[in-house]
A and B are shown apart, each in its own frame.
Chain A
Amino acid sequence: MPKDHGIGASPKRREDIRFLSGTGNYTDDMNVNGQAYVHFLRSDVAHGRIKSINLDAASAMPGVVKIFTGADFEGVGGIPCGWEITDKHGNAMQEPAHPVLAQGKVRYVGDQIAAVVAETLEQARDAAEAIDVDIEELPAVVDMAGALVDGSTKVHDDLTSNLCYDWGFVEENKPAVEAAFADAAHVTTLELRNNRLIANPMEPRVAIGDFERASGNSTLFTTSQNPHVIRLLMGAFVLGIPEHKLRVVAPDVGGGFGTKIFHYAEEAFCTFAAKALNRAVKWTSTRSEAFISDAHGRDHVTTIQLALDADNNFTAVRTDTMANMGAYLSTFAPSVPTWLHGTLMAGNYKTPLVYVNVKAVFTNTVPVDAYRGAGRPEATYQLERVIDKAALELGLDPIALRRQNFITEFPYATPVAVEYDTGDYHATMDVLEKMADLSGFEARRKASEARGMLRGIGINCYIEACGIAPSNLVGQLGARAGLYESATVRVNATGGLVVMTGSHSHGQGHETAFPQVIAEMIGIDESMVEIEHGDTDKAPMGMGTYGSRSLAVGGSAMVRATEKIIAKTKKIAAHLMEAAEADIELKDGTFSVAGTDKSVAWGDVTLAAYVPHNYPLEDIEPGLEETAFYDPANFTYPSGAYACEVEVDPDTGKVTIEAFNAADDFGNVVNPMIVDGQVHGGIGQGIGQALLENAAYDENGQLLSASYMDYAMPRASDLPFYGVDHSCQTPCTHNPLGVKGCGEAGAIGSPPAVVNAVVNALRSGGHDIHHIDMPVSPSRVWQAMNG
C-alpha cells in the first residue's frame, strides 16, 4: 500500500492550486507605487565599435525620465563571474570586463547599449527608437575553431586571444592515457556537436529595482533561482551595497532550467537606476528579448576517443572539446565544461584512464552558461555515443558491452577526481530491459517495416554528480562561493511550522515535498508545515536551486534544523512530564516517556515554549526556532539506464519517438509523483535537444532561430507516454535523507538514447551511418540517408 503521508507518499502539489488558477505571484504581477519602466536598446550587430551615441532627440521625447548609457556606469563594477578556472599551465583563465551597459564596444546581438527609463513602457520604446547610435561594424567571431586561429579578430581587445582557458584534466594522467591508446586493440573516434540551446522558461525574466530614500535601502524583485546569490554578487561586486541595505526577492518563478541562476545586467541596472532616480524601475523581458539576452546552454564541439583491449574492456577515454562561452563570462559559465563535465567522463564504467581537454572560447554570441544538466549532458552524450559506435564497429551488443564495463563496487574512486558513494548499474539496466520489452523489439521492427517505416532502439546509461557540493572541494576547484544551504525552522506557539529555506522553488514542488519530510520526522500532518523561500529577508542565507541540490542539500539543512527543534522540544517535554530527557520518545506528534503511559502532545510542548510558565528557564531559552547550515560531504550520484524507440520515415527523414523508458536510481524518494514529473520534464527537454532545438547563428553573428518561428520547442505531440521507474534505490550515504536528486536526470540521460535509436533505425535500412548531429531534424536525417 502506498503511504498517504510523509516520506514516500504522493500528495498533490499544493502550489499548483495557485499556479493553475492564475493566482500565482510572479515578478511581473508586482508593481511598486510610482514605478517607471525601462527599455533596453540592444545591439543589432554582433560586433562593433560605438563611435557615438546622441541622446538629444530621444531625451526630449514624451515621458522620458532619463536615458542611461555606458558613461553612467564608468565608476560602477562589472557583472562578476562566480568561478575561476586554472588552465593546464597553472594560469588563471582570461576574464574580460563585463559592463552593465556597453562601454565602447558591442559584442553580441542583444548587448545592451542604452537604457531608456520612461513613465510608460511604450514611451521608453518610442524614445529608444529615437536614439542615434553610430556603430562601426567589425567582423564577427562566430565559429569556435576560427576564433582560436592566430590573428583572428578578438572579441576582447585587451585579452591576448579568444581563448578563455585551455584546461587539462587530469593533466598528470595524460602520458598514461596516451600510452593506453598506443596499446589499444581497438580505438573508436567520434566527432560531434552538442547543440546550443535556449532555455525558454515559460516566464521571461523580469526585474524591479526599488529604493527607499528614508532608510537608504534597496530592493530588487527578480526572476531568480537564487536571490541570496544575486544579493551577494550584485551588492558586493557591482553596486557596492552591503547585504543589510539590500533585499532581493524572487517570488513565484515560472521555470528557470538554469538560465535564471545567473546575475544579469538588467538586475543591476534596475537596482542602480532606482537609487539614481529615487523611484522604482521595472523591466519585463519580451519573448524576443529573451532569445538574445537569456544565457544560452551547451554549444560544445567535441572529439572523443575510446580505447578497448582485445577483450573489449575500456582501457582509456580521451576527449577534446571546444566550449563556447559567448561574448562575456556568465556567472557559472567557466565551471560547466570543466568541473561539471570533466569529472563525469568516467560515466558508469571502470575505465582506468581518462583525459579531458577543454578549450573555452569567446565568440560574438550570447553568453553561454548552465542549462538543465550543465556539463553532465555533454559528458553523457559523447561517452554514450562513442560506446554505441564502438559496439557497432566491433559487432557487439551495446548493452553487453556496457554491462561488461560497469563499475560494480562502491565506493568507487574514478580517475577524474570524484568518488561515487553508491549505485547499482546492473540493477537499473535489468529494470530497463523489462520496461522496454527488448525481447519484443524485433517483432515491432517487422511491424514498422511492413508499414514502410524504419524502427530503431537506442539505450544508454548515465551518471551525474549533483547535490552540489562540498564547499571546501568547490573552493579548490575555483568556485568563488560556498555551496552549502541553510534553513530556519520556526515553530509557532500552537504547533505549526514555517520553514525558511535557501532553496528556491520555481516549479519543483518544494512547498509540497519539504513538508512531507518534517511531517515524517515529527509525526504531524503536512498541513501544519509551510515553506517560505525566495526572500533574502527570510532565510538566513541561500545558495539556491540548481544542480538538483534542493532536497539533497537544502532538504538536509532543514532536517538538521528540525533535529535541533526536536532535541529542544524533548527537553521541554521531559520537564513537563518530570522525566529524564533520554526517556522521551516522539511519535505521531506525541511525546511519551518510555515504559510509562505518560504523554504530552506536540502542541502542548510548543505552547510551553512560548508561554513558559512551567519551563526549564535555567537550562533553555523560551521560543522555538532553529537554524542549520548544511554543507555536504560529497556530491550525490544518481544514475540510470534509458531506452528510446523511434520510427524513421525513410521518405522524409522524420523521426517519431515511439517509446521512451527510464530506469533511475535516485536513492530514497520523498514524493514519487513529483519525481515522475521531474523525469518527464527532463526527458521532454532532452528529446527537444535531440530532435528539435537549435540556436543557430549565421556567419555575421545574427541569431537565425530568434523566435518560435525558427526555434523548435518540443510540444506534447512530439513526446510519447514515458515509462518511468525509480524502484532501484541505493541511498546516498552522506546526507541524512539518503536522497540523490532527480531534477536533471531526464535531460542528461535522454539525448544519447534518441540519437542511438535513430542510428540504429537507419542502419536497419541499410544506411552505413555512424552519427548524425543533434537536432536530428528531418532534413539532417534525409541528408544522412542520401549522402
Chain B
Amino acid sequence: MYNFEFEKPSSIADAVAALGDEEATALSGGQTLLPTMKQRLASPTKVVSLLGISEMQGICTGDDGALCIGGATSHADVAAGASAYPGLAALAGGIGDPAVRARGTVGGSLANNDPAACYPAGALASGATIVTNAREIAADDYFQGMFTTALDESEIITEVRFPVPQASNYQKFEQPASRFALVGVFVAKYADGVRVAVTGASEEGVHRWTAAEEALSANFSADAVPAAPGADGMIADLHGTAAYRAHLVAVLTKRAVAAAS
C-alpha cells in the first residue's frame, strides 16, 4: 500500500468537498478498495471514508412505498433489516461471508459495478433509483458495462431507492473460487410487468433479459421462461464457457420464478 491522507467527514457536503481533490477516492466498506490498494493496484493520495456520515446509514420506507437504503449501509444491515423486500434481503445475506457483509455496503457495490456482483442485479431488476449528492439516476441508465457506471468523478451514492415488487427472488450460482456469481439472476414481479436482471454472465456486465421479461409478464411461471439466450457476448473463463453461462441464465431464471411465485 502506498501512503495516503485519510479523512472521515460527517456530512455529504464535506465528503464531496474532500473528494474534490485530484486522486481522492471514496472509501465505504473497503472490501474492494482496500485489497486493491494493498496490492498496489490503486494509489489514491487521499482516502475519504463515508462511514461517518449518519444520513447515509440505515433503511426506511419512502412515501411511494419504496425501500430506501442509505448508500453506506452494510450488507449485514440490509440482510437483517430489509424484511419489506425479502428478495433483496436474501441477496444481501448471500454476499461473501459474515466479515464481508459486516463491512461491504450497497453504495460501494453499485459504484464498483463488478460484473459478477449481486447488488447490480437487484438494483436493475427492481428499477431502483440511485440517488447521489447531485441527482437521481434510474438503474436502467446507471449501469454502463463492466466496472462502468453513470457516476461522475467524486459523485457519491447517498441512497438507493428500491420499489418493492409483489414477488421476487435472486438465484446465485457461485463461482467455485470467489463465490461471487458465476451467474446470478434477479426476478422481480411488479404490477406493471416483470423485470429480469442477469449478473456474472455477460461481457457487458449486468443486463436485463428482455425476452424472459416479456414472456414472464404474460405468464409468470417457470414454464414460460424462454430457451437460454445465445452464448455470444457471454463471459468465458476458467470456471465456465460462454455456452454454460448462457445455459445457467435460463436455469436460474426458472428457479427464481419458481421460488418467487
Contacts and interface: CB of A to CB of B under 8 A. Distances in A.
Nearest to A714: B176
Interface stretch (A292-300, A582-590, A703-711): A703-711
B208 interface: no
Interface string B1-33: 110000000000000000000000000000000
A694 B176 CA distance: 11
A651 B240 contact: no
A684 to B, nearest CB: 15
Contacts of B251: 651-652
B251 to A, nearest CB: 5
Contact of A710 (B39, B178, B240, B248): B178
A696 B238 contact: yes
23 contacts: A122-B1, A129-B40, A288-B39, A651-B251, A653-B244, A654-B173, A696-B238, A704-B238, A705-B177, A705-B238, A708-B177, A709-B177, A710-B238, A710-B239, A712-B177, A775-B176, A777-B239, A778-B173, A778-B244, A779-B239, A782-B244, A783-B244, A786-B247
Contacts of A690: none
B210 interface: no
Nearest to B40: A125
Given A652-B173, A711-B177, A779 B240 contact: yes
A700 to B, nearest CB: 15
B83 interface: no
A694 B1 contact: no
B122 to A, nearest CB: 21
A713 B2 CA distance: 30
Given A779-B244, A783-B244, A708 B238 contact: no
A477 to B, nearest CB: 37
Interface string A213-224: 000000000000
Nearest to A713: B177
A692 interface: yes
Interface in B161-190: 173, 176-178, 182
A654 B238 CA distance: 15
Given A713-B177, A777-B239, A778-B182, 7 more contacts: A125-B40, A126-B2, A652-B248, A654-B173, A705-B238, A777-B176, A779-B244
B241 interface: yes
Contacts of A653: 244
Q: Is the interface of B mostly helix, strand, loop or mixed?
A: loop
A775 B238 CA distance: 11
Interface of B: 1-2, 39-40, 173, 176-178, 182, 237-241, 244, 247-248, 251
Indicate the member of A704, A712, A713 with the most B CB atoms within 10 Å. A712
Contact of A779 (B2, B40, B178, B241): B241
A652 B40 CA distance: 37
A708 B179 CA distance: 10
B240 A778 contact: yes
A691 B239 CA distance: 12
A165 B177 CA distance: 35
B173 A710 contact: no
Interface string A766-787: 0000000001011100110010
B247 A782 contact: yes
A786 to B, nearest CB: 8
B177 A778 contact: no
A221 B125 CA distance: 56
Interface in A647-662: 651-654
Interface string A677-700: 000000000000001101010000
B248 A712 contact: no
Given A288-B39, A651-B251, A708 B241 contact: no
Contacts of A696: 238
Contacts of B244: 653, 778-779, 782-783
Contact of A694 (B39, B178, B238, B240): B238
B120 to A, nearest CB: 18
A652 B239 CA distance: 13
A778 B40 CA distance: 33
A712 B176 contact: yes
Contact of A708 (B1, B178, B240, B248): B178
A713 B40 CA distance: 25
Nearest to A711: B177
Q: Which 4 A-B pairs have the closest CB atoms?
A: A712-B177, A779-B240, A712-B176, A709-B178
Nearest to B3: A122
Nearest to B251: A651
Interface in A570-596: none
Contacts of A654: 173
Q: Which of A125, A705, A709, A779 has the most CB of B within 10 A?
A: A779
A778 B241 CA distance: 11
Nearest to A125: B40
Interface in A428-461: none
Interface string A700-734: 00001100111111000000000000000000000
B241 A783 contact: yes
Nearest to A696: B238
Contacts of B177: 692, 705, 708-713
Interface in A111-164: 122, 125-126, 129
Contacts of A782: 244, 247
B167 to A, nearest CB: 22
Contacts of A711: 177
Interface in A728-784: 775, 777-779, 782-783
B244 to A, nearest CB: 5
Contacts of B40: 125, 129
Most chain A CB neighbours (cut-off 10 Å) among B40, B176, B182, B247:
B176
A122 B239 CA distance: 35
A121 to B, nearest CB: 11
A778 B238 CA distance: 11
A784 to B, nearest CB: 11
B226 to A, nearest CB: 16
A716 to B, nearest CB: 11
A570 to B, nearest CB: 59
A258 B215 CA distance: 56
A708 B247 CA distance: 25
B141 to A, nearest CB: 29
Contacts of A713: 177
Nearest to B178: A709
Contacts of A125: 40
A651 B1 CA distance: 44
B176 A778 contact: yes
A119 to B, nearest CB: 15
Contacts of B248: 652
B255 to A, nearest CB: 8
A123 to B, nearest CB: 11
A654 B247 CA distance: 13
